[in-house]
Amino acid sequence: MAIPVLESFEGFTKNSSFGYNFTKPSGVEIGDFLLIMVVYKIINQLSVIPGFIRHAEYKHTSADIFIALFYRVADGTEADTFNIAADTGSDRSVGFYMRISGVGTDAPFNGVGNRISAASASSFTIENNDTTVNSCLAFMVMGATTGQLIKVPIAGAPWIGQLNSPTPSQLKQSGTTTFDAMIAFDSKDQIVQGAPEDAPITFVAATTDDFLGFQFALNPPGVTATNFGNFVLSDGKIRKAVTEISGLEDLEGETLGIGGLGVVADGASQVALCSTINTNSITNGKLTLCSLASRVHIGWRYISDIETLDVEASQGTLQGKTQRVPKVTIRYKKSRLPLVGPNQFKLQRQKPREDEDMGSPTALLTGDRPLIIEPEWNSNGRIFIRMLEPEPLTVTAIIPELEIEDDE
C-alpha cells in the first residue's frame, strides 16, 4: 500500500495589521489532501477557515499556546490565495498550508499522540503516536511563544530532517513582547503500524516561554471507519463519528445562533459550522461540523427556566421575614451547567470545564456543584435557574444556604 506523500507546502504569518494570508501550495490536484497547521496564543483565535474542517485544537497546559489542524480535500474550487482579516489583538500567529497526496480521505487521521508542553526548557522529546494501520505518513509539530529556532538531531534521527534542510520547515514571526510565534514540523514514512519513534527537540537557545508539541499520522487510501479512525468508544459502546449531517431538508436555510438553530455535538453546543461556502446555515439539507462527532442533536433552540417555591422553615414559619441566599449547592445528573441566581435579572455563569483535555468535549456533570451567587434580600428565598443552550440538564436537588434578617 502506497504511503501518503508531502508534495509541497507554503508558510504563512499573521499579526494585528494584515491578518492571515494563505497561498495554495504548488501542484495541487483534485483529490489531494490539503492540511493547515497553525500556532497561536488565544483559544479559538482561528476557529473557522472557509472551506476547511477544523480537526482539532490542542493547548499548552496553562492555555498560553495553541496548535490547530484544519483540512479539506481539493476539488478544484479552492482559491489560489485568500485572506482572513486580523482580529483586534496584537498576538502573532504562524503556520503551514500543505499539499499531501495519497491520503485516505474517508478516514484521514490515525490518532494524535500525547501533547508535550512546558513553560521553559532547552530541549524536550515529543512522544510517539501509535498508528493502527501500515503505510501511514507520520508528523511531529511543535510551536513556541518565544520565536526560538529549533533543530532535530541528524545523527540517528528517525525523521527525515526537514528541520535541518537548507530551507528549514519552520517559521518565526517576531512581534511585540506580547507574543513571538514559532512553528516547526517534520515527517517520516511509517511503513509498519506502531510507534513512529520519539522526536528529540533541541532549542538553539533555551526558551523562556511556553512550547507545545505532538505527533499525528495520516492514513493511506483504503482505510475506512472500520479501522476505528472514525469511531469513538463511550460507555463500552462503539459509535461512528462523522462531520457531515444530511437529511435536514425541513431546516433548509435556517441559521445557527441564539433564537435560531441549535447544534450540539457530543454534548458541546456548536458556535460555528464548517461548510465550504462559509455559512452557518443548513444548505442543500446538510451541515458540516468542524470536528468529528458521534452523537449530534439538531433543532430549534428554546430557553428553559426553573424557579423554586418560597423557602419555608421546618418549624414555625418564614412568612413575612426578609431573607436571602448567598450560596446554593445544586445536584446535577449528566448535565451541562446552567445560569443560576436569585432571579432572572441576576444570573451567573458557572465554569463548564474542569480537567478535560483541549479538543475533547466537555464532560457531563454528575454530582454537587456549590455556587456563591449575588444575593438579594426578599421575602421568598427563591433560586432561579436558566438554560440557554440546547443541552442536557437534570437537577435532582437544590440546597440553599439561607440567611434570615434579625427581627430585633
Distance of alpha carbon 104 from alpha carbon 173, whole angstroms: 33
Distance of alpha carbon 350 from alpha carbon 336, whole angstroms: 10
Distance of alpha carbon 48 from alpha carbon 277, whole angstroms: 12
Distance of alpha carbon 308 from alpha carbon 132, whole angstroms: 53
Do 395 and 346 fall into the same domain? yes
Which of 250, 281, 300 is at the close of a domain? 300
CA-to-CA separations, 368 to 237, 308, 339, 363, 389, in angstroms, rounded? 27, 17, 15, 14, 21
CA 21 to mean position of chain CA atoms: 22
Q: Are 113 and 214 in contact (CB under 8 A)?
A: yes
Q: What pLDDT does residue 156 have?
A: 46
Residue 285: count other Cβ atoms within 10 Å of its Cβ: 13
Do 92 and 180 fall into the same domain? yes
Do 150 and 293 fall into the same domain? no
320: left (phi over 0), alpha (psi -120 to 50) or beta: left
Which of 187, 207, 223 is at the close of a domain? 223
The CA-based diameter of the chain, rounded to the nearest angstrom, is 86
Range of the domain at 169: 5-223
Do 256 and 388 fall into the same domain? no
Do 323 and 275 fall into the same domain? no
Do 272 and 377 fall into the same domain? no
Q: Are 171 and 182 in contact (CB under 8 A)?
A: yes
| φ/ψ of residue 2, rounded to 5 | -70, 140
Do 249 and 296 fall into the same domain? yes
pLDDT tens string for the chain (408 positions)? 688 999 999 888 776 566 788 899 999 999 999 999 988 776 556 777 888 888 877 776 565 678 888 999 999 999 898 888 765 455 677 889 999 999 988 888 887 777 777 666 667 778 888 888 888 998 888 887 765 556 554 444 556 554 433 344 555 544 433 446 778 888 888 888 887 777 777 666 555 567 788 889 998 987 765 444 455 545 555 667 778 888 888 888 888 776 677 788 766 677 777 755 556 788 888 888 877 777 788 888 778 899 998 887 767 677 778 888 889 999 999 888 899 998 888 898 888 777 766 656 677 889 999 998 887 787 788 899 998 877 888 999 999 888 887 655
The tally of domains found in the chain comes to 3
Do 76 and 163 fall into the same domain? yes
Give the angle 126-129-133 at the CA atoms, nearest 5°. Answer: 155
3-state helix, strand, coil in the chain (%, to 5): 0, 45, 55
Do 188 and 49 fall into the same domain? yes
SS3 label, residue 8: strand
Q: Are 56 and 145 in contact (CB under 8 A)?
A: no
Distance of alpha carbon 143 from alpha carbon 213, whole angstroms: 6
Q: What pLDDT does residue 333 have?
A: 92
SS3 label, residue 6: strand
Q: What pLDDT does residue 62 have?
A: 60
Q: Residue 130's closest CA among 196, 226, 53, 38? A: 196
Q: Are 38 and 9 in contact (CB under 8 A)?
A: no
Do 78 and 203 fall into the same domain? yes
Distance of alpha carbon 51 from alpha carbon 72, whole angstroms: 7
Do 392 and 349 fall into the same domain? yes
Which of 197, 223, 249 is at the close of a domain? 223
Do 328 and 202 fall into the same domain? no
